[in-house]
């Protein structure tokens, strides 16, 4: 790609292509904004993973065609992410299709076994998240929510605002 001397070509290609690709990703992310690598929706997560994969493909490119394709693929993915975020802001139907609903796994110190089964969440994972959140007394845990991102949020303490559970599904 750069020289006829293979070892030097490999070093130059690796350094230059990775530097340019990284600068490109930083530039596109600055244009797209803070949401570029968020985990708010499953599509956000997929975009992040795919961008990383395309960045790796760009760095490992052996032709200019594959390099440019990977670079523009990154921009296309992030542009799609922006378009889907705007669509979700203006359409409840789009939100329903693209967004998972958070689920209550535990409420007022009582673990919802049915919710654990339906969400395929292990009880041991729930308990680990309680420890991670420094929940010292199960009876003081107000709610545990499996978020749309797959993260588990633990809400504990003496005071609780019910608005925190807005849009969260309860499985009975």
**Alpha-carbon gap, residue 54 to 56, rounded angstroms:** 5
CA distance 30 to 1: 30
Supply the CATH classification number for the domain 103-165: 3.30.240.20
Q: What letters, b where the CB count within 10 A reaches 16 and e where it falls short, cover 116-141?
A: beebebeeeebeebbeeeebeeeeeb
Contact 100, 42 (CB under 8 A): yes
Measured between alpha carbons, how far is 3 from 5 in angstroms, rounded to an integer?
5
Here the contacts of 63-69 (C-beta below 8 Å, separation 24 or greater) are 63/1, 64/1, 67/17, 67/21
Phi-psi group of 106: left, alpha or beta (phi > 0 → left; psi -120 to 50 → alpha; rest → beta): beta
CA distance 3 to 118: 58
Q: How many CA atoms lie within 13 A of 168 on its CB side?
A: 19
In order along its 172 residues, the chain shows pLDDT tens digits of 556 666 777 788 888 889 999 999 889 888 887 777 776 777 788 888 899 999 999 988 888 899 999 999 999 998 998 888 888 888 888 877 777 789 999 999 999 999 999 999 999 999 999 999 999 999 999 999 998 878 899 999 888 888 999 989 899 8
Full-model pTM: 0.66
Contact 67, 13 (CB under 8 A): no
């Amino acid at each position: 790609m750069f020289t006829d001397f293979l070892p030097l070509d490999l070093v130059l290609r690796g350094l230059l292509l990775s530097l340019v690709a990284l600068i490109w990703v930083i530039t596109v992310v600055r244009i797209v904004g803070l949401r570029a690598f968020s985990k708010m929706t499953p599509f956000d997560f997929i975009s992040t993973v795919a961008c990383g994969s395309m960045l790796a493909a760009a760095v490992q490119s052996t032709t200019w065609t594959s390099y440019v394709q990977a670079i523009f693929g990154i921009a296309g993915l992030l542009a799609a992410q922006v378009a889907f975020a705007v669509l979700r802001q203006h359409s409840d139907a789009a939100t329903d299709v693209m967004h998972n609903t958070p689920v209550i796994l535990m409420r007022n110190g009582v673990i919802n076994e049915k919710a654990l089964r339906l969400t395929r969440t292990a009880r041991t994972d729930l308990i680990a998240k309680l420890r991670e959140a420094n929940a010292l007394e199960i009876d003081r845990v107000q709610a545990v929510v499996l978020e749309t991102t797959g993260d588990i949020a633990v809400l504990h303490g003496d005071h609780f605002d019910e608005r925190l559970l807005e849009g969260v599904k309860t499985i009975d």
